[in-house]
Amino acid sequence: MCTIFQITCDDAFFNRCLDCFLGKAACTRNLQDNVAALAIELAKLIAAKNNLITRVLDAERQQLRRLDQVQVWLSRVEAVKTETDELIRRSSKEIDKLCPRAYCSKSCKSSYKFRKQVAKKLRDVRTLIGEGVFEVVAERPPQPVADEIPTEQIVEGLQSQLKQVWRCLVEESIGIIGLYGMGSVEKVGEETLDSHHDILELAQTVTKECGGSPLALITIGRAMAYKKKPEEWRYAIEVLRKSSSSEFAGLVKEVYPLLKFSYDSLQNDVIRSCFLYCCLYPEDFAILKRDLIDCWIGEGFLDERDSFSAQNQGYYIVGTLVHAWLLEEVGDDKVKLHGVLHDMALWISCEIEEEKENFLVCAGRGLKEAPEVKEWETVRRLSLMQNQIKILSEAPTCPHLHYEFKMITDGFFQFMPLLKVLNMSRETNIKELLGELKALVNLKCVNLEWARDLVTIPLEVISNFSKLRVLRLFGTVLAKELLGLKHLEELDFTLRCVHSLQILVSSNKLQSCTRALVLIRFKDSKSIDVIALARLKHLSTLHFSKCEELEEWKTDYTSGTVLKSPQPFVFCSLHKVTITFCPKLKGLTFLVFAPNLKCLSLFDCTAMEEIISAGKFVHTPEMMGNT
């Protein structure tokens, strides 16, 4: 006897079962392909969005208004991006559900639904990409409706000026119009300028004292708008020239709060702290951006995890302060803080935020003796740079030093356990570092760059700075002392012998953090292995001097000292090379491997025949890969 079962089912149920039983492998493969395609299309969409935003911002800087359809598209992209990111995040889990033993389980149904969602989202993303092509992204805003108001007859003599201004207004190539002198009396008030015949000339003097800073001009103009006595204007000029916050007296309540609005409007406390730090330098002093960022890193303002991220963040903050008119660029690599803004920063740090900041700045005052020690005890940062102080003899309490002198007596640093930044660079005449510096275990930035008279660095001083992130030292130092600095990220230093060079190129840590290198007085070396230096992948500045026996830079790829590497032999980061007093050096063919070189300086290289030898270049092995 046998029993026969008969089961009936509708087409939909049968098709779904068939999909589960027969198409599982194909489903898995299709889902993986669609997820991969979705990720690629999303990347294209984001790139299109970023390009469009760039165009929109450019247009808005020209006083145009973005089109509504552009804004709608950007909003849709953000919504689709969020949904797509979630699908991609879930995809690996859904693919895992499609295992051979999961036939007709609940996971089959959910996976089927997920595949449909991915396919639909892929279509949506592609549709958005197609719709994101805009020939025009912005338009001129409609002119506001204005009521006609009767006016008095225009004063004779202004007609020509009005016609000139009108021509500028209708000229599309002109984006900014500047009105000055009597033509802009409304800025200070016609009544003010007419109140005394000297005020116009005094106002022009005030403008000069503002040094062209737009923020200072606008703010001082507002503060002086209703000053009708010449004495008030002369006092303002005297105050600006003295450039000391204590001199502002009655003006401080009017001027500084207006300037401080720009400071308060900065994005966060990090940027505000970076701005206040600039007042440690003399007013209008050209500050190297790199040096400033070094100090910000040492103070802990910037990214603690990654040197490159910190450097990029630093340059971003510099740009932010420049665009806010709080800093002024000097060329490509420097910035300065204008006198009025310098005093405002001091006012904030010493009065408004005294507990948090509290600076003592005596920079650029021509001092021959340091301030009394009792003035140092409560300050968090001190600047004595650009003075004529020769000796610091007493032992103060001070968390920041930035000075110029020849001698520091014993015990000077004993009450500075929290010192993070020590800068004795540039024109410093310091000749000797004290062994007691070993106690400054919290130092994160040390700059002794171009301290030319520094001849003595006690053993184990540098190696004791275990938290050091930035070290710029163009003087005497033993390379092996640097090996224990685990947190070091930025290194500039000098080598005087082949042995020290070998220590450098054999250390992965030192290779990765060396940014600038000076090779000096390699007395017994007729040649130096360039390939070894190529391991310094972030080297941007190379300077060699007084190498009297040096004849060539070897590019012998078969040298036994060369560590084999899959990376092409190229000085990708090298921007500047300086060679001085190398009388036997004949050529610099190795520079063909420096594709980004911007500056080459040669001094007293009397035997130099040619920079790059075509003959040697032909015989140089192909070490550049596909670069």
- For residue 432, the model assigns a pLDDT of 65
Partners of residue 432 on adjacent β-strands: 456
What's the burial of 114, exposed, middle or buried (CB within 10 Å: 0-12/13-18/19+)?
buried
> Helix, strand, or coil here: 39?
helix
State the sign of the Cα–Cα–Cα–Cα dihedral 144, 150, 155, 160. positive
pLDDT (mean) for 207-219: 64
SS (H, E, C) 569-614: CCCCCCCEEEEECCCCCCCCHHHHHCCCCCEEEEECCCCCCCCCCH
Nearest alpha-carbon partner for 423 in 452, 367, 383, 378: 383
Both tokens of 94, joined, read 């859904």
Strands 391-392 and 138-139: unpaired
Nearby residues of 97 by Cβ (< 8 Å), 6 or more positions away: 107, 110, 111
3-state class of 581 per DSSP? Answer: coil
Closest CA to 116 of 134, 94, 131: 94
State yes or no: pLDDT of 181 exceeds 80.
no
Please name the helix (run of DSSP H) or strand (run of DSSP E) that holds residue 381, with its range, or none.
strand 381-383
Q: Which of 105-114, 122-131, 356-365 has the lowest mean pLDDT?
A: 105-114
* The pLDDT of residue 263: 81
pLDDT at 274 over 90: yes
User: Would you state the structure tokens that stand for residue 130, as one six-digit string?
Assistant: 């197609």
Q: Which of 50-59, 406-415, 431-440, 588-597 has the lowest mean pLDDT?
A: 406-415
Q: How far apart are CA 374 and CA 76, in angstroms?
A: 63
Kind plus residue range of the DSSP H or E element containing 517: strand 514-520
* Res 173: pLDDT: 57
Model confidence pLDDT, tens digit, residues 329-364? 888 889 998 887 888 888 888 777 665 666 777 777
User: Quick one: tokens of 557?
Assistant: 């790829």
Give the integer Cα–Cα distance in Å for 460 and 371: 32
Handedness of CA 209, 213, 217, 220 (dihedral sign): negative
Which residues are CB-neighbours of 249 under 8 A, at least 6 positions away?
none
Which phi and psi angles does 363 have, rounded to 5°? -75, 140
The answer to whether residues 248 and 255 touch, using CB atoms and an 8 Å cutoff, is yes
Per residue in 48-95, pLDDT (tens digit) is: 888 888 888 888 878 788 888 888 888 888 888 888 888 888 877 777
Which pair of structure tokens corresponds to residue 281?
């330098």
Give pLDDT tens digits for 450-488.
666 665 666 677 888 888 888 887 665 566 778 888 888
Q: How many CB atoms lie within 10 A of CB 186?
A: 10
- The whole-angstrom separation of Cα 145 and Cα 352 is 44
